[in-house]
Amino acid sequence: MPDILGRVLCYLGLHDFVLTDATFGFGAPGGISKLRCRRCGKIKSKLM
């Protein structure tokens, strides 16, 4: 994919997230997974 297109997609909020880390807290309902965009490096936390 051309870099410029990836940047446009990121700009539109369509990131290419990959799972980088998953933590499971004690006493918390479920866990939190960390997603990182391979193009712009944006980190997003997501409740599982």
- Decide: is 36 part of the binding site for Zn ion (CB under 5 A): no
Which one, 10 or 32, has the nearer CB to Zn ion?
A: 10
User: 31, 24 in Cβ contact below 8 A?
Assistant: yes
Contact partners, residue 32, CB within 8 Å, separation at least 6: 22, 23, 25, 45, 46, 47, 48
Q: Which is nearer to Zn ion, 7 or 21 (CB)?
A: 7
Q: Residue 9 forms beta bridges with which residues?
A: none
Rounded to the nearest whole angstrom, what is the least distance from the CB of residue 28 to Zn ion in the complex?
Answer: 27
Using CB under 5 A as the criterion, which residues of the chain lie in contact with Zn ion when the complex forms? Answer: 10, 15, 37, 39-40, 42
